[in-house]
């Protein structure tokens, strides 16, 4: 706890409760998009992409609701990032997401991702949901996960 008070905040502390086992609907929720090069799904320039996105948001005087940043692993070589914003951002690739979404929160090392995705698929199936689009939300950077003592990851899918 003492360490938390003296280190600057990079990522805000994540509250899993509003995201655990929730279904919600978005109607043209605003995001800005960037790409991350991945090597067999492992991000290579994630920090650089986040820095570019943050600079565009700051320059526009906008905010990032919930610090929500969705990762869409489009291949083993690419990941698209969607950073939630409160308005359109000049000079950025603006995007929107719409639909019904189901979210579940997991905690632990990234090596558990395979286990989490299988558990998520089972939970979605038990609720009668068909998964349409799959997103991961890595809620804190590794440094902040260590600082807070928790590494939360939210799996969020557009469902039918």
Domain definitions of the chain by residue range:
2-6+19-159
Residue with tokens 């469902």: 159
Sequential DSSP letters for 109-141 = -GGGHHHHHHHHHHHHHHTT--EEEEEEEE-S-
pTM: predicted TM-score of the whole model, two decimal places? 0.90
CATH classification code of 2-6+19-159: 3.20.80.10
pLDDT tens across 55-74, in order? 999 999 999 999 999 999 99
For residue 8, is pLDDT > 70?
A: no
């Amino acid at each position: 706890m003492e360490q938390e008070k003296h280190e600057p905040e990079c990522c805000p502390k994540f509250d899993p409760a509003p995201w655990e086992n929730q279904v919600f609907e978005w109607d043209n929720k605003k995001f800005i998009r960037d790409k991350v090069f991945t090597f067999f799904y492992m991000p290579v320039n994630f920090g650089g992409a986040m820095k570019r996105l943050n600079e565009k948001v700051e320059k526009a005087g906008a905010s990032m609701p919930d610090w929500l940043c969705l990762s869409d692993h489009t291949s083993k070589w690419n990941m698209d990032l969607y950073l939630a914003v409160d308005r359109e951002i000049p000079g950025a690739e603006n995007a929107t997401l719409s639909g019904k979404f189901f979210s579940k929160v997991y905690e632990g090392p990234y090596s558990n991702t395979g286990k989490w995705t299988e558990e998520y698929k089972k939970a979605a199936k038990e609720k009668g949901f068909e998964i349409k689009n799959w997103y991961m939300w890595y809620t804190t950077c590794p440094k902040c996960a260590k600082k807070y003592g928790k590494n939360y990851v939210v799996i969020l899918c557009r469902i039918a």
